[in-house]
Structures are given as structure tokens and as C-alpha cells.
């Protein structure tokens, strides 16, 4: 099976309905025994003199999609997965909203859980995506991943 | 049109007059960086990596002259 | 804060709407940065001469709730979590349907991911719950966890 | 009513005439097991643990006489 890069970007926040629909779509795949899901949610972190009200995400989209494709292929190679889905927000995502949705499915739990964790790490470290924190007092602050 | 295409992202894009611009052909990425620092001195204070045609590079890399060069500050997705 | 045992059992399958609602409920907790979710789904495993069409779950409910409470307390003690939710089905869950929903939330991803994984292991190993596989040919087979 | 309450679960419940029944007071769990095996010989072929008042026990445990005893085959939740 040859896979091609597919879009991972979603304009604005990722809704819980989208997540539910994605879970529901797997009910026909009856060889799946375990799903592992990671969700990134925007925190209202305190910054000097103010508080984060949203993060505005931008990306080097062509490179990010190519990189996401390479990561997908490597993870499919390493783990025995049935499905893998990655969604990342672009544009403004308010505090409390979801900006990252990573979803792996496998026959057994260990594969799904380990693959999901590795995917999240690689996405955070390797995708050319940037978050700018928009503060309540109208200041801005470029996010730094830890 | 001849020449390199330079794209800036994240906080780098805010420090340059344009987010995407043409730049004269250079022999390699070291020469390109020297010219960019010369033209935009405030780049020197910023932490960024280079991608040539969407591939991150770690060392000086020869250029044909029509590449897409990206200036990438540390990633902060997710 | 004193916590008391709370019900983890759901009659029948766990719907994707319930999962979505649970995710949505966390949008007001703006100190959360990461959610980790595990879902167990009933597989259509092949058994000699037939195939699983559903699993029927029973439990020693009082003991299971007490044990789930102890596990919750231990995980809250060990990891820096904002929230933790556990739902397990009782009764019949058809192939492709969800029978286990484990949900941890934290400020940072590592805590949420590690806590979720440990919770799933402990739930599988320590809760007095039993699954009976109901086969297409009307045979039955007591599930064995691996 | 006096005596132990015995509850059987999972495949054990299917092997006994009743899922829950009263059983005469025994000094400890070893005596109880011996009596149960005597009464229900097919229990001998089955793998199960004992819980006394919802606590799994690993060794012979004294009984007051009014405990709830559970016969628990290997767990298979999730």
C-alpha cells in the first residue's frame, strides 16, 4: 500500500464532535482492540502582567505535511497499527480549546499507546509549526516548547 | 524569475520587512547567511535553522540558485 | 480534598457522544494542557469454528468500585493530574463498540500520558470484571486477558 | 442469618448451582476451600482466587463466620 501526504491542518480549534466522529468511524474496523488518543488543549498560562487568552498557530505548511508524512511512515513501519490520524490547528485557538488531536489504533493496547506517545513527541519536535500566545492585555508572546 | 526564494516564519517573519522575498543567487548557505545578516542585522539576535527546499540542513550546503530557503525559529506546535 | 468511590460502570457500550461530552466538559479547565485517552474496542476475534460477535461483561461491582477508587487515589498521588475518569461497560458490547474509556488530563503531556497507561494496566489486571465472548455460532468463550 | 455468604463470578458462577449461597461457618479459608471442593468437586479444575469481604487474600485467613467470600476467576475486563 502506498500512502501519500495528507492534510493534517484544521482551521481553528478541533471540535469534540470531530473527535467523536473520528472514533465512530472506526467501529466498522473490528480488528481494532485499542485506541490511544492524545489531545493538546490551550492553557491560560500566566505571563508577566497578563494571561494567555488564545494561541495563534502558523506553519510552513508544505514542509510540515511532508514531515508529517515521513513521521507517519516511520511509525507505521515501527508499530503494528491499524490506523493513525493527526490533526493540528492553524489560526486562533482559544484557551480550553483543542489544538492537537493524535489518534492511533491497533489490535492490542501496547502498540497503540506507544505509537501515540512517540507520534506526539515527534510532532512537537519536528513539525515546522509555531504558536504565538495572545494575551489578555493585547501583548503577544512566542510560545516555547519544553 | 532567477534567484533564491526566502521565506521567514514565526518570530523571524515579524523581524523582516517581508515574509517572503527573492534574494540573489549564492554559492552556498554560509554565503547566503552572511548576506542575510548583512542586509538584516537584527537576524543575528535570533535563533533559527535553515531549510533548503523543505529539508532542514545542519551544515553548509551548496546552492543551485533557485532554491526555496526557509528561516525557521524553534518549533512550538501542539 | 476527600474523594469517594464513584460509579465507573456503564450499561452496554460507551458511545462516542459520551466521549465527546466528556472532552467538552474539560474546556472550562484552562489549566489543562494535555489529555490522554484510552479506548478499548471489542474485536471480532476468530475462535475455533466461529467469530466473536459481542462480549458480555459482568463484575463483582462493590469490590470493583472500591478497587477502582484505590487505583484512582494511587494514580492521583503519583502523577500531577487535573482530572481522571474511568468508564467500563457491563452487559453486552458488540464488536466495534467501545467497552473501556480511560481519560487523564494534566498541565503537561508526560504526566497525562504516563498516568493513562498505568491506569489501563491496573484496570485490566486488578478490577474484578469478566468478559464472556459470544460467538456468531452461539457458542460462548470466557475471555482471557494477555 | 448466620454463616458465610459465598458469591461466584465469571466462569465459576456457571459451574455452581447458584451464583450466591449461604455456607456454614468455617475457622479459616483453607477449611472453607476444602468444604467447597468436597461439595462441588468440579471447582478443583478451575483457576480462581478468594476475596474475603472484597479483599483479595493470598494465604490462609481466619474467618469470623459472617464474611462475604467471593470466588474470582482470572479477571478479563477491558
CB contact under 8 A, A60 and B70: yes
Number of domains in chain B: 1
Query: What's the complex ipTM?
Result: 0.95
Note the pLDDT of residue D2. Answer: 76
% of chain B with per-residue pLDDT over 90? 97
Assigned domain for D9 exists: yes
With a CB cutoff of 8 Å and minimum separation 6, the contacts of B57 are B29, B49, B50, B51
pLDDT at A3 over 90: no
Q: Chain A closest CA to C64's CA: distance in Å? A: 21
- For chain A, say whether B70 makes contact (Cβ under 8 Å): yes
Assigned domain for B53 exists: yes
Q: Bridge partners of B55?
A: B52
Which 3 state secondary structure label does DSSP give A61? helix
Assigned domain for D77 exists: no
The least confident of A1-15, C74-88, C99-113, D25-39 is: A1-15
What is the separation of C-alpha A58 from the centre of its chain, rounded to a whole number of angstroms? 14
Quick: pLDDT tens for C35-44.
999 999 999 9
Helices (H), chain A: 16-24, 61-78, 109-126
Quick: pLDDT tens for A25-63.
999 999 999 999 999 999 999 998 899 999 999 999 999
Note the pLDDT of residue C133. Answer: 97
- For chain C, say whether A136 makes contact (Cβ under 8 Å): no
Mean pLDDT of all residues belonging to chain C: 96
CB contact under 8 A, C26 and A41: yes
DSSP A15: P
Note the pLDDT of residue C49. Answer: 86
Assigned domain for D62 exists: yes
B2: confidence class by pLDDT, cuts 50, 70, 90: confident
Note the pLDDT of residue A115. Answer: 98
CB contact under 8 A, A34 and C30: no
Mean pLDDT, residues C50-73 taken together: 97
Expressed as residue numbers, the domain containing D34 is 4-72
- For chain B, say whether A126 makes contact (Cβ under 8 Å): yes
At residue A43, φ and ψ (nearest 5 deg) are -90, 145
Q: In this structure, are strands C9-11 and C81-94 parallel, antiparallel, or unpaired?
A: parallel
Q: Chain A closest CA to B40's CA: distance in Å? A: 20
Locate the domains of chain C by residue range.
9-145
Note the pLDDT of residue A107. Answer: 98
Domain A9-145: which CATH number of 3.40.120.10, 3.40.50.970, 3.90.1170.40, 3.40.50.920 = 3.90.1170.40
Going through C28-136 in order, the beta strands assigned E by DSSP cover 34-41, 46-47, 50-59, 81-94, 98-106, 129-135
- For chain B, say whether A123 makes contact (Cβ under 8 Å): yes
CB contact under 8 A, A43 and C29: no
Note the pLDDT of residue C146. Answer: 76
Which residues of B are less than 8 Å from A62 in CB distance? 54
Mean pLDDT, residues A1-6 taken together: 70
Quick: pLDDT tens for A62-79.
999 999 999 999 999 999
- For chain D, say whether C62 makes contact (Cβ under 8 Å): yes
Which residues of A are less than 8 Å from C120 in CB distance? 109, 113
D1: confidence class by pLDDT, cuts 50, 70, 90: low
Q: What is the CATH number of the domain that holds B19?
A: 3.10.20.30
Q: Which of C23, C26, C40 sits opposite A33 (nearest CB)?
A: C40
Quick: pLDDT tens for B37-66.
999 999 999 999 999 999 999 999 999 999
Which residues of A are less than 8 Å from B76 in CB distance? 129-131, 142-145
Assigned domain for B38 exists: yes
Assigned domain for D78 exists: no
> What pTM was computed for the model?
0.96
Q: What's the CA gap between C60 and B21, in Å, rounded?
A: 69
Q: What's the CA gap between A7 and A62, in Å, rounded?
A: 10
Assigned domain for B15 exists: yes
pLDDT at A146 over 90: no
pLDDT at C69 over 90: yes
Interface of A with B in 86-105 (CB under 8 A): 88, 99-100
Amino acid at each position: 500500500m502506498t500512502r501519500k501526504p495528507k492534510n493534517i491542518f484544521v482551521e481553528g480549534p478541533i471540535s469534540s464532535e470531530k473527535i467523536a466522529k473520528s472514533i465512530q468511524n472506526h467501529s466498522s474496523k473490528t480488528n481494532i482492540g485499542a485506541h490511544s488518543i492524545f489531545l493538546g488543549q490551550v492553557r491560560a498560562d500566566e505571563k508577566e502582567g497578563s494571561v494567555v487568552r488564545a494561541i495563534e498557530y502558523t506553519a510552513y505548511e508544505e514542509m510540515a505535511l511532508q514531515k508529517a508524512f515521513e513521521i507517519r511512515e516511520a511509525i507505521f513501519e515501527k508499530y503494528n497499527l491499524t490506523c493513525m490520524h493527526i490533526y493540528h490547528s492553524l489560526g486562533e485557538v482559544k484557551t480550553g480549546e483543542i489544538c492537537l488531536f493524535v489518534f492511533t489504533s491497533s489490535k492490542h493496547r501496547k502498540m497503540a499507546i506507544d505509537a501515540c506517545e512517540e507520534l506526539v513527541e515527534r510532532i512537537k519536535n519536528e513539525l515546522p509549526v509555531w504558536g504565538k500566545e495572545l494575551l489578555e492585555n493585547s501583548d503577544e508572546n512566542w510560545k516555547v516548547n519544553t | 524569475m532567477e534567484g533564491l526564494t526566502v521565506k521567514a516564519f514565526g518570530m523571524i517573519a515579524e523581524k523582516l520587512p517581508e515574509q517572503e522575498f527573492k534574494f540573489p543567487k549564492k554559492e552556498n548557505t554560509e554565503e547566503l547567511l552572511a548576506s542575510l545578516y548583512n542586509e538584516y542585522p537584527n537576524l543575528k539576535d535570533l535563533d533559527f535553522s535553515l531549510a533548503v527546499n523543505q529539508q532542514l540542513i545542519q551544515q553548509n550546503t551548496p546552492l543551485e540558485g533557485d532554491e526555496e530557503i526557509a528561516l525557521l525559529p524553534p518549533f512550538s506546535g501542539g
